[in-house]
Amino acid sequence: MLNQVVLVGRLTREIQINKADTGKKIANITLAVPRSFKNMDGLYDTDFIDCILWDSVATNTSEYCHKGDILGVKGRIQSRIVDQNDTKRNVLEVIAEKVTFLTSNNDKNKKNEK
């Protein structure tokens, strides 16, 4: 069996580090990943995918990446059941094992010059 996913997308908000009950650092991020094909209206749809980063991956990503930066995320898909208002629903999320920073400093400098 294989459970592996690779995503490339833009960070939708600034990263906040929290501590889990175990004391480990955790960050929840959302990547905006455009689809590679157009919809019926001739536009590219975008999927917003929730990812969880742990410990050093969370710390490094929060230190170097900001809203709008392009990230590559390699990880695995995890499902869990969330109980909200007495309604149980299944949530899929990506547990990041590796994050690659794809926005270069040159791109950031050009953005700041505008």
Instruction: Give 113's pLDDT tier (boundaries 50, 70, 90).
Output: low
Confidence at 111, pLDDT banded by 50, 70, 90: low
Segment 46-92, tens digit of pLDDT: 999 999 999 999 999 999 999 999 999 999 999 999 888 889 999 99
SS3 category, 107: helix
How far is 91 from 81, CA to CA, in rounded Å?
A: 6
Indicate the SS3 state at residue 104.
coil
**What's the fold here for domain 5-113?**
OB fold (Dihydrolipoamide Acetyltransferase, E2P) (2.40.50)
Q: What is the pLDDT of residue 85?
A: 85
Domain ranges of the chain: 5-113
Give the pTM.
Answer: 0.82
